[in-house]
Amino acid sequence: MGLLVKGEWKDKWYDTDKSDGAFEREDAQLRNWITEDGQPGPSGKGGFAAESGRYHLYVSLACPWAHRTLIFRELKGLTEHISVSVVSPDMLDCGWTFNVDEGSSGDSLYQSRFLHEIYTRNKSDYSGRVTVPVLWDKQQACIVSNESAEIIRMLNTAFNGIIGDEQDFYPEHLHSQIDEINERVYHTINNGVYKAGFATKAEKYEAAFSELFDSLDWLESRLTQQRYLVKDGHKSVLTEADWRLFTTLIRFDAVYFGHFKCNLKRISDYPAIQNYVCDLYQHPGVAETVSIEHIKRHYYYSHDMINPMRIVPVGPELNFSAEHNRAELD
Ligand SMILES: N[C@@H](CCC(=O)N[C@@H](CS)C(=O)NCC(=O)O)C(=O)O
């Protein structure tokens, strides 16, 4: 694990000293948008028009943030239009690598060895963390974005004219409801598990732990009443809020419960949430984006600060293909 400082790779773990033992996630720096006609999006510069075959995603199958982008690529029928490279699950001294022997697909564009080469190809003196996902423009040979929350919004709409798909996971009239749920889910669940797992002081871990399980209780009661998180009139509808939550829930029992010490309850102890995960997992195209093997290997093997012997647990038994009762709910 490390970062780039003026284009030079430095092997360095997260610095929690400056925040008294709390893990604080850095904001993504590269924030351009693909739009239908290449006009600038809400941030960054323009010139990134939606085109078939022009863009490439660098992802890790282990990473919950990258996972969102793979799900949207599937849901929106973009697999033929946006190519993908998968990094190795092992993220050690050199950061994310394209080591094929360890399960990477290799870098089909530049045959790079390390993901940090993609960041310096974009900007030779880049300083910052080298994270997945990365959305790459093959035409201009540069990074469009390294912020998953924004990449999924681009995939949701920018390519509609090309693919003829109008499914909208962030409909205008539901923005405020979706944003409000995303806010709580992000801070207490998506990033909450990391705040618990990467804390270096007990009180910071305990604070994240209690917020996390308060939010899971809130979700259990909400999902007992309704199929999806957001209501549109009487019925709930599937939105990006569900997909953003899903990528954390699917990793929970395999990794966060043990490795990040989020062990008050497993997801399988919450009947409604467990069925909800199965429901989303069984949505067409989604199971293909889930690799429990990469997920377990990445966290347990890469974070030697937390698991110095790098032994990857064999269990638990997981069955996301089980029957669920969710279709009966509003
Ligand atoms: N804001 C980013 C966060 C991405 C992120 O933190 N990815 C992790 C993998 S789960 C990563 O690449 N970490 C490497 C590092 O922090 O050095 C997003 O959502 O796209």
Q: Which atom of ligand 1 is nearest to the CA of 25?
A: 6
Complex ipTM, two decimals?
A: 0.99
Alpha helices in the chain, H assignment, sequence order = 64-75, 116-122, 148-157, 160-163, 175-185, 192-198, 202-225, 240-251, 271-281, 292-302
- Give the right CATH number for 172-328 from 3.40.640.10, 1.20.1050.10, 2.30.42.10, 3.40.50.2000: 1.20.1050.10
pLDDT (0 to 100) of residue 289: 98
| 152 Ramachandran zone, left/alpha/beta (phi>0; psi -120 to 50) | alpha
CB-based burial of residue 221 (10 Å sphere; 0-12 exposed, 13-18 middle, 19+ buried)? exposed
pLDDT (0 to 100) of residue 13: 78
- Closest alpha carbon to 50 in 31, 32, 41, 37: 37
Answer yes or no: is pLDDT of 12 > 90. no
To test ligand 1's pocket by mutation, which of 131, 151, 255, 302 has the most ligand atoms within 8 angstroms of CB? 131
DSSP 295: H
To test ligand 1's pocket by mutation, which of 14, 16, 65 has the most ligand atoms within 8 angstroms of CB? 65
132 lines ligand 1 (CB under 6 A): yes
Rounded Cα distance between 318 and 55, Å, is 34
How far, in Å, from the CA of 134 to the mean position of ligand 1?
Answer: 10
Report, as an integer, the average pLDDT of 206-218.
98
Answer yes or no: is pLDDT of 14 > 80. no
Which residue's C-alpha comes closest to atom 6 of ligand 1? 131
Rounded Cα distance between 189 and 250, Å, is 12
Q: Which atom of ligand 1 is nearest to the CA of 91?
A: 14
pLDDT (0 to 100) of residue 1: 79
Report, as an integer, the average pLDDT of 49-58.
98
118 lines ligand 1 (CB under 6 A): no
pLDDT (0 to 100) of residue 25: 83
pTM above 0.80, yes or no: yes
Least confident of 16-30, 33-47, 116-130, 303-317: 16-30
Which tens digit of pLDDT belongs to each residue from 225-282? 999 999 999 999 999 999 999 999 999 999 999 999 999 999 999 999 999 999 999 9
Q: Which atom of ligand 1 is nearest to the CA of 129?
A: 17
115 lines ligand 1 (CB under 6 A): no
pLDDT (0 to 100) of residue 132: 98
Catalytic sites, residue numbers: 63, 194
User: Is 58 in contact with 134 (CB distance < 8 Å)?
Assistant: yes
How far, in Å, from the CA of 27 to the mean position of ligand 1?
Answer: 9
Which tens digit of pLDDT belongs to each residue from 105-143? 999 999 999 999 999 999 999 999 999 999 999 999 999
pLDDT band at 17 (very low <50, low <70, confident <90, very high): confident
63 lines ligand 1 (CB under 6 A): yes
3-state secondary structure at position 199? coil
147 lines ligand 1 (CB under 6 A): yes
DSSP 28: P
pLDDT (0 to 100) of residue 11: 85
Domain 2-163: give its CATH architecture.
3-Layer(aba) Sandwich (3.40)
Which tens digit of pLDDT belongs to each residue from 74-100? 999 999 999 999 999 999 999 999 999
Which residue's C-alpha comes closest to atom 9 of ligand 1? 63
pLDDT band at 18 (very low <50, low <70, confident <90, very high): confident
- Percent of residues, the chain, with pLDDT higher than 70: 100
- The kind and range of the H/E element at 83 are strand 82-86
28 lines ligand 1 (CB under 6 A): yes
Q: Which atom of ligand 1 is nearest to the CA of 64?
A: 10
Report, as an integer, the average pLDDT of 154-172.
96
How far, in Å, from the CA of 224 to the mean position of ligand 1?
Answer: 32
Report, as an integer, the average pLDDT of 291-306.
97
pLDDT (0 to 100) of residue 89: 98
User: Is 152 in contact with 61 (CB distance < 8 Å)?
Assistant: no
- Domain residue spans in the chain? 2-163, 172-328
pLDDT (0 to 100) of residue 165: 87
Least confident of 10-19, 95-104, 109-118, 213-222: 10-19
- The kind and range of the H/E element at 9 are strand 8-11
247 lines ligand 1 (CB under 6 A): no
Length of the chain: 330
pLDDT (0 to 100) of residue 16: 84
pLDDT (0 to 100) of residue 319: 97
Strands 2-5 and 128-129, bridge-based pairing? antiparallel
- The kind and range of the H/E element at 8 are strand 8-11
Q: Which atom of ligand 1 is nearest to the CA of 146?
A: 20
Rounded Cα distance between 6 and 46, Å, is 25
Dihedral sign from CA coordinates of 281, 287, 293, 298: negative
Rounded Cα distance between 140 and 48, Å, is 9
How far, in Å, from the CA of 248 to the mean position of ligand 1?
Answer: 13
- Closest alpha carbon to 73 in 63, 64, 65, 83: 83
3-state secondary structure at position 139? coil
pLDDT (0 to 100) of residue 192: 98
